[in-house]
Structure 1
Amino acid sequence: MHLKTWLRFSLLLTVVSPFSQSYAQKQPLRLWYQQPAATWTDALPLGNGRLGAMVFGGVGEEHLQLNEETLWSGRPRSYSHPGAAQYLQPMRQLLAEGKQAESEAMGEKYFMGLKAPDDSAYELQKDTWFRSVRAQIEPAGVTYNDNNWPAMQLPTPEGWERVGLEGTDGSLWFRTSFNVPAKWLGKNLVLDLGRIRDLDYTYVNGQLVGHDEGISKKRKYTIPASALKEGKNTVAIQVINFFDKGGFTGVKGTARTLVVYPEGGDVDTVSLGNTWKYFIQNDAPPALPRYEADYLPFGDLYFRFAHGNNSSDYQRSLDLDNAISTVSYTANGVSYNREYFISAPHQCVVMHVTASKPGALSLQAVLNTPHKKYVVKKIDDHTLSLSLEVSNGVLKAVGYLYATATGGRLTVNDTAINLQQATEVNFYLVAATSFKNYKDVSGDPVAACKAALARVKGVPYASIKTAHLNEYHKLFETFSFTVPAGKNSGLPTNERIRQFNMKDDAALVPLFLMYSRYLLISSSRPGTQPANLQGIWNDLLTPPWGSKYTTNINLEMNYWTAEVLNLSTCTQPLFNMINELAVAGHQTAKDHYNAPGWVLHHNTDLWRGTAPINASNHGIWVTGAAWLTLHIWEHFLYTQDTAFLRAQYPNLQGAAQFFEHFLVKDPKTGYLISTPSNSPEHGGLVAGPTMDHQIIRELFRNCSAAAAVLKTDAAFAERLKTLIPQIAPNKIGKHNQLQEWMEDIDDVNDQHRHISHLWGVFPGTDITWKDSAMMKAARQSLIYRGDGGTGWSLSWKVNVWARFKEGDHALLMVRNLFTPAMDDNGRERGGLYNNLFDAHPPFQIDGNFGASSGIAEMIMQSHTGVIELLPALPGELPDGEVKCMCARGGFVLDISWKQGRLNHLKVVSKNGNTCHLKYGAKEIELATKKNGSYIFNGSLNRQ
């Protein structure tokens, strides 16, 4: 953190020591690079909670990829399945009889939520469309003229969407040729194409040699000798893709594809080459029925500079202290500088471009979008607009790009804003959709854009920037974390990731954590939607997992850092979502379980779907609502805000009411169990997964405690207390592990990415060191799971190892995460992209938040009612300091440590509660006053 920031911070909250100042001077909170972004995950994210942008920083052509948080597919509708409840007991009975497959089949047929559009209508439309594209096979012919077809480089591992066909579904033809040597005549040949998404019809010299369907199937077809000729032979392939990624995806590893060789051996091969001709035959297949909607990109803004691509002294950066991205370079002897930020006060993307020489700035600004239905047009002499409609939903969106220049000539037409020979230019982009709430899409995006632009026009750039900085600092400067800088801390960020080790660059740990705070501020503000699977940033019409809200770990992980890292304000969107989900989930509870209260399964979206989705073997998971209510109780514990708790208590109560009804007695053990459900996303549909029982116990305890705080609902609270010991307890299995299920069937070689049965260790409190035997069993389970994993999985493990108080092992998980997401062979893996985004892969933002939570757990834990200092401090992090870390009970802490030992502690009591402190073997109890401040030395002695 910059020194000036520390000084401002100190006036608000604490005293800055020379110790912390020395750290601050060495560690600017900045991501920086010496080259433009080559991919989306190299670009730098900006956001104000509602608007998002990814800045690529090109020289000759700049690219900002844009998002607006409410632009989704789909529409307001009912997701739950009326009448599903009649199959609940039969499914339970099948599970009780050990007939898992039969129960899953029943659930798949009768218990899943509703899709849109309806399956039966879709099948008729699909059949008609499919027959029409299959009737047109002229491109398979040998003499077909494909001279005017464009070319594509194959394979396309991420689908043809990543090579220029974003949003394209339907039927495409691909053509190439290969030469057959004379020695192969009379032999059958093997045509090896790798994997294809989804359906292919493959022809050689006009003859169909094979077809298949499925994204996981490798295509190897036999070409009969009779179909071949010496010399040139033509291959034509019709690839039909109904939804999501399409095309030739290759294979993992080094296996060869797109080759031809004689049957019986693959040593002597002929390559089909990488350049194929292609033709889009029909890109309008009927809309595929979907359980839930997708978060969609808004569009793209390009600046095309007259100075071209040649430059020197290039640098692009993201300043976390100020939420500003900059690009600077020299071209033709002129220094150019760009500043980008997204203002919350003015609700716009702000772009400020300058040249050091008067009249040296000439550029063209162009708006585009991957959506098919769009219009770009001139609004006035300073403004260009982009209007669009989503293809598979009801929402409309509009963006206005407004420009003002110093010097030169600014003109606007229906395609671009053109600037000639200026010295400085400011661009302001505003955007809105027709979304008003999850039931209402009657908003007027044009009116919203005009109103937003009116607040910008006539306001100096410096004033807009100052307003942005003042608002942002109020959020970001509430916390800091510093450690001594190592020799690599001055390297470009991509090099810091590539060369990461704790000895040379321990400062990457606090940079990563502070970046996670920046990401939460940028994607979750009061009045906005919660951070989704990718926060607020997405460039694909078919993003991974819909870029929606996965509630069996990912949505909750997004908010693990919010309270402890002093960003409680950023949780407001989550609680607003809970209010809405409780309404939608009440209907699902009735339709699927004939139960009171509310329920949420493992995913939701903008329209607040709460019913089971995807498949019965993992989609029928009942504890999403119960898990989300943990955040209600946690927010109260940190803030002591009883007004908040009173407003949210009905959601806690409703989730508990559902489970009071839902739990049934297990005939084998006599315990109450959760059935049917799932241990996410592992082991299929079962009765009594351990995770469910941990979450439900926690819910009942929290709801009872909330009722006591509010002095209400005493009878209900007592009923919950009597139910808690009746719920099936955690069990230790034959491998000394914590069982994941009722049966002792854990596989010690299973390294599944989910560690669901360890929920009770973290984020829950169902298992603590008060029960050391159970804690050790949980530890054994995590050892069996291994130290590998995808981004968010590694992040969860950081937290659990910290709760085990094994800081070195927790840090090992951080080190495993701090590896380049692309290996030396160009394959993606769990780790970090160049812009510090977490790689599942692909990108999921939960890993950024989750790992930062684990780092916080190394420094301080307060989940047992005792504030424990440095409970899991790694040996490789011997010196450091945090300021304004929050603890449950309403306390704010400054903690410094040297040589692995506590050095200094300051406690501020926000509410005057009794404070229990623990460091090592020493534990003290402190009576506090509201807003009182208390100083301790490294031995917990008052100063």
Structure 2
Amino acid sequence: MMRKSILIIFFICCLQAISQDTDGLKLWYNVPSSDTWENALPIGNGFQAAMVYGNVEKEIFQLNEATVWSGSPNRNDNPNALEALPKVRKLIFEGEYKAAENLANEKRITKRSHGQMFQPVGNLELTFTDHDDFSNYYRELDIEKAIAKTSYMVGGVTYTREAFISFPDRVMVIKLSADKPGKIAFSAALTSQHIKQNITVNGNNELSLWGTTSDHDGVEGKVEFNALARIKTDGGIITNTDNSLNIEKANSVLIFVSIASNFNNYKDISGDENQRAKDFIDKAFDKSFDKMKAEHIAAYQKYFNCVKLDLGSTEAAKLPTGERLKNFNTTEDPSFVTLYYQYGRYLLISSSQPGGQPANLQGIWNGSMKPAWDSKYTININTEMNYWPAEKTNLSEMHEPLLKMILELSETGKETAKVMYGADGWLAHHNTDIWRITGPIDGSFWGIWNGGGGWLSQHLWERYLYTGDKKYLESVYPAIKGAAEFYVDFLVEHPKYKWLVVAPGNSPENAPKEHQGASITAGSTMDNQLVFDVFNATINAAKALGVDKNFIKKLEGLKKRLPPMQIGKHNQLQEWLDDVDSPTDKHRHISHLYGLYPSNQISPYRNPKLFAAAKNTLLQRGDVSTGWSMGWKVNWWAKMQDGNHAYKLIQNQLTPLSTVKGGGGTYNNLFDAHPPFQIDGNFGCTSGITEMLMQSSDGAIHLIPALPDNFKNGMISGLKTKGGFTIEDMVWKNGQLLSVKITSNLGGNLRLRIPNEMQFESGNKLNKASGENPNSFFLVPKIKDPVISGASTIQPLQLKKTFLYDIPTEKGSSYRFVLK
């Protein structure tokens, strides 16, 4: 026993020594970005952002600020919707789906704004003369420090640029230096694509870009913004033109960039953008670069360093990032997965900070005045996926901007519920924006879905399951309850099946051929699963707070009348009430697997036939898909406990765009390619890798549930679980769990599911678990038995053997377990 313990400790120490070598946590390249935005490198602090091109002769910092959106406060409810609701329902129940969709397009889809656009501020452009003949070029993004760096040599002089957007100081700082004195010479200018703009050179060596955002879709653009760039030199001379600053013979140069808008909140744009921008830059300008850099790194690493991951390394890690991406499918490069995993955490920290806006479809980075899908919040999957890594990868604070937006939507969505559905509570459809619109947009095929509020409300509940914060739960309970109140009023009895169903609804963005090409339906599987989760979360939240006993009773009764999940003739989980799924359907949305993940209604241990049907659905849909869809599939295959298949999806994801016909992939800067760029795929894949290593959604904490052959050895530390546990120093070798330390932040029963037998570090035995987990944070949903088609031959899957233990814990105590 002593010899085994010594070997385990030695192996852990070796892994920790490797994991502390953070040179691998860099994206680096030996060529500039040129004019390609997807080659540039993203930096940000949740409020302000930039894409750093790293070009030599003309460097570009493309600038964003999270509140610079087109339009102004507005609503987009359709007042004709309520009158048409019974007619739309009648057509659906009669099987006249196309007629129902046409009527919904006419009477229910908004006639006002279809949502506003997240827009760029402009560019800071630095032009260097006589720098065309350069050598020794190198650029990087150090995601351990959140700093971008470019270096090169011209005429025997090595030039270096460093850039970061300070977390504590709310400004971008750029340092230009050379290894010989008096060699820095360039011109600086601000540019913008906005029609309403004014670029000036102020006193104090400062450039100013003031602008107003665009009118869009009938809504006047009223967001006013100001970007300031102020320069400080060591030596040299500064002169100016009408719209630029020229620097000559400087030893080094600091450029400070601040951006602010008049946006206060979704209904108030009375702020002073000029004073705000001035205050940010004034506060930072007199600080030294070294001090700002140290404070920035410390503030960033407070979040980033919470999770450490080591999957090993090979010679492949020595290549530039772009080459690693090209080679990943044919080369053993486990540390590239580590880099991509931590890059997802970097992007979330950099695009979503407390007090700011949530990460949108592109996070906080956008260079287009008219971005794809307006770079809005698509809430039928994409926005939710952005935040899947938040709690479990120890970034709970990054969740806060989304939670705040949900509370705001719970206010704006009340009027939509009343005007369009005649219902209490609140809802949102499949898209929203900074103005928190909740009406249906784009067209009935996409916009008729009304589950956005229901799905988002689960994030409010999830935060409580991880933190156990009762005061927080009290503050968000009205919004959780409001989502349930909407469904209480909106559900209608299906005339054929007698179940309570959502009508109209759909299975997002998909349609069976039998519905005449229309997506509109009643009681889609995803809608049923969402209503079930909304009712369940409300019931459990009310019980935790000791409130609303009568409402709990009402929801319990309604929950019994919801449709069960169904297994169809192709042994698949049905997507619709009727068995009309096609095994040749390869649609990117597989929304009915919401019940598998992110929900936990489908379990291999509690309902094995549903679990098997979910796997058949995944196999029938196939692997090739758009970027974000592949990210979701990594999570699903992790839930299937199939690590090799999950890894195959990671390989598909980490493939240069256009390599896989008909699929997405990854751009050179490791941004997810839908295509075009959508950040949800990055976040989805980071979540999926976490699910491969740890799950806490099925009544227990399941360690290394889906370990692929490529991850035979490794270590991870810092993951959070439901119930307030922290997984520390989890080490495995040859697929076997060697050691793990678990800290209990809330106390209560710790139920562990692991692949091999373990014991306390002291040698004491662990108690085998039995019955339901008594820990209230691990309640599992009790669902109806599925309805199984007479043509189905579904059989449960053979699962890997696991060991289940119960360990009583005390708040604040840690427990270490080792191989038995």
Query: What TM-score, normalized to structure 1?
Result: 0.78
* Aligned match of 1:81: 78
- The alignment partner of 1:488 has SS state of helix
1:856 aligns with 2:666: no
Worse-matched range after superposition: 497-506 or 744-753: 497-506
Amino acid at match of 2:682: N
- 1:391 Cα deviation from its structure 2 partner: 3.0
- The alignment partner of 2:317 has SS state of coil
Amino acid at match of 2:194: H
> For the residues of structure 2 that align with 1:732 and 1:633, how far apart are their CA atoms?
29
- 1:837 Cα deviation from its structure 2 partner: 0.3
- 1:829 Cα deviation from its structure 2 partner: 4.8
- The alignment partner of 2:390 has SS state of coil
In the alignment, which of 5, 14, 31 is matched to residue 35 of structure 1?
31
1:21 aligns with 2:7: no
Asked if 2 retains the 8 angstrom alpha-carbon contact of 1:377 and 1:413, the reply is no
> For the residues of structure 1 that align with 2:285 and 2:608, how far apart are their CA atoms?
64
How do 1:207-222 and structure 2 match up within 5 A? Answer: none
1:29-80 per-position Cα deviation (integer Å, ceiling 9, x unaligned): 1000001113100100000001010000011110110101101111111211
> For the residues of structure 2 that align with 1:323 and 1:434, how far apart are their CA atoms?
28
1:317-341 per-position Cα deviation (integer Å, ceiling 9, x unaligned): 0001100000011111001111000
- 1:370 Cα deviation from its structure 2 partner: 1.1
- The alignment partner of 1:914 has SS state of strand
1:243-286 per-position Cα deviation (integer Å, ceiling 9, x unaligned): xxxxxxxxxxxxxxxxxxxxxxxxxxxxxxxxxxxxxxxxxxxx
Gaps of 5+ in 1: 1-14, 116-289
- 1:650 Cα deviation from its structure 2 partner: 0.6
1:848-902 per-position Cα deviation (integer Å, ceiling 9, x unaligned): 0001111111101110120011111111110111111111110000211111111
* Aligned match of 1:531: 359
> For the residues of structure 2 that align with 1:329 and 1:589, how far apart are their CA atoms?
59
> For the residues of structure 2 that align with 1:446 and 1:74, how far apart are their CA atoms?
20
Gaps of 5+ in 2: 1-10, 216-220, 512-518, 756-801
1:938 aligns with 2:766: no
In the alignment, which of 100, 105, 126 is matched to residue 102 of structure 2?
105
- The alignment partner of 2:306 has SS state of coil
**Distance change >3 Å, CA 812–CA 664, structure 1 → 2:** same
* Aligned match of 2:251: 423
Amino acid at match of 2:622: G
How do 1:571-582 and structure 2 match up within 5 A? Answer: 571-582=399-410
1:708 aligns with 2:589: no
How do 1:592-603 and structure 2 match up within 5 A? Answer: 592-603=420-431
**Distance change >3 Å, CA 44–CA 828, structure 1 → 2:** farther
Q: Which runs of 4+ in 1 moved over 4 A?
A: none
Asked if 2 retains the 8 angstrom alpha-carbon contact of 1:397 and 1:433, the reply is yes
> For the residues of structure 1 that align with 2:658 and 2:630, how far apart are their CA atoms?
17
> For the residues of structure 2 that align with 1:18 and 1:812, how far apart are their CA atoms?
28
- 1:466 Cα deviation from its structure 2 partner: 1.6
1:292 aligns with 2:288: no
* Aligned match of 1:165: none
> For the residues of structure 2 that align with 1:55 and 1:740, how far apart are their CA atoms?
44
How do 1:860-879 and structure 2 match up within 5 A? Answer: 860-879=694-713
In the alignment, which of 387, 392, 396 is matched to residue 559 of structure 1?
387
- 1:106 Cα deviation from its structure 2 partner: 1.0
* Aligned match of 1:516: 344
* Aligned match of 1:678: 506
Asked if 1 retains the 8 angstrom alpha-carbon contact of 2:329 and 2:655, the reply is no
- 1:413 Cα deviation from its structure 2 partner: 3.3
> For the residues of structure 2 that align with 1:317 and 1:439, how far apart are their CA atoms?
40
Asked if 1 retains the 8 angstrom alpha-carbon contact of 2:650 and 2:685, the reply is yes
- 1:442 Cα deviation from its structure 2 partner: 1.3
In the alignment, which of 478, 482, 489 is matched to residue 306 of structure 2?
478
In the alignment, which of 740, 750, 754 is matched to residue 905 of structure 1?
740
> For the residues of structure 2 that align with 1:112 and 1:491, how far apart are their CA atoms?
51
* Aligned match of 1:8: none
Asked if 1 retains the 8 angstrom alpha-carbon contact of 2:390 and 2:399, the reply is yes
1:137-185 per-position Cα deviation (integer Å, ceiling 9, x unaligned): xxxxxxxxxxxxxxxxxxxxxxxxxxxxxxxxxxxxxxxxxxxxxxxxx
The structure richer in strand per residue is 1
Amino acid at match of 2:26: R
Asked if 1 retains the 8 angstrom alpha-carbon contact of 2:19 and 2:309, the reply is no
1:803 aligns with 2:800: no
In the alignment, which of 920, 927, 941 is matched to residue 808 of structure 2?
927
**Distance change >3 Å, CA 842–CA 737, structure 1 → 2:** same
Asked if 2 retains the 8 angstrom alpha-carbon contact of 1:551 and 1:604, the reply is yes
Asked if 1 retains the 8 angstrom alpha-carbon contact of 2:104 and 2:444, the reply is yes
How do 1:643-792 and structure 2 match up within 5 A? Answer: 643-683=471-511, 684-769=519-604, 770-792=606-628
* Aligned match of 2:720: 886
Query: What TM-score, normalized to structure 2?
Result: 0.90
> For the residues of structure 1 that align with 2:463 and 2:298, how far apart are their CA atoms?
25
- 1:23 Cα deviation from its structure 2 partner: 3.7
Give identity over the alignment, percent.
42
1:842 aligns with 2:679: no
- The alignment partner of 1:720 has SS state of helix
- 1:459 Cα deviation from its structure 2 partner: 1.4
1:899-935 per-position Cα deviation (integer Å, ceiling 9, x unaligned): 1111111000011121101113211111111110100
Amino acid at match of 1:905: V
> For the residues of structure 2 that align with 1:430 and 1:93, how far apart are their CA atoms?
56
Asked if 2 retains the 8 angstrom alpha-carbon contact of 1:822 and 1:833, the reply is no
**Residue correspondences, number:** 749
> For the residues of structure 2 that align with 1:624 and 1:53, how far apart are their CA atoms?
30
- 1:726 Cα deviation from its structure 2 partner: 0.9
Amino acid at match of 2:549: A
> For the residues of structure 2 that align with 1:382 and 1:829, how far apart are their CA atoms?
49
In the alignment, which of 652, 671, 676 is matched to residue 816 of structure 1?
652
Amino acid at match of 2:628: W
How do 1:419-458 and structure 2 match up within 5 A? Answer: 419-458=247-286
1:302 aligns with 2:302: no
**Distance change >3 Å, CA 828–CA 312, structure 1 → 2:** farther
Structure number with bigger Rg: 1
Amino acid at match of 2:550: A
> For the residues of structure 2 that align with 1:629 and 1:341, how far apart are their CA atoms?
34
In the alignment, which of 90, 93, 102 is matched to residue 93 of structure 1?
90
- 1:25 Cα deviation from its structure 2 partner: 2.5
- The alignment partner of 1:679 has SS state of coil
Amino acid at match of 1:938: L
Asked if 1 retains the 8 angstrom alpha-carbon contact of 2:60 and 2:124, the reply is yes
In the alignment, which of 38, 48, 52 is matched to residue 49 of structure 2?
52
Worse-matched range after superposition: 458-467 or 870-879: 458-467
1:701-746 per-position Cα deviation (integer Å, ceiling 9, x unaligned): 1111111111111211121122212101100111111100001000
Asked if 2 retains the 8 angstrom alpha-carbon contact of 1:34 and 1:492, the reply is yes
Asked if 1 retains the 8 angstrom alpha-carbon contact of 2:409 and 2:438, the reply is yes
> For the residues of structure 2 that align with 1:754 and 1:856, how far apart are their CA atoms?
22
> For the residues of structure 2 that align with 1:480 and 1:843, how far apart are their CA atoms?
27
Asked if 1 retains the 8 angstrom alpha-carbon contact of 2:24 and 2:317, the reply is no
Cα RMSD between the aligned structures?
1.4
* Aligned match of 1:279: none
> For the residues of structure 1 that align with 2:79 and 2:167, how far apart are their CA atoms?
42
> For the residues of structure 1 that align with 2:241 and 2:662, how far apart are their CA atoms?
42
> For the residues of structure 2 that align with 1:413 and 1:475, how far apart are their CA atoms?
43
Amino acid at match of 2:241: N
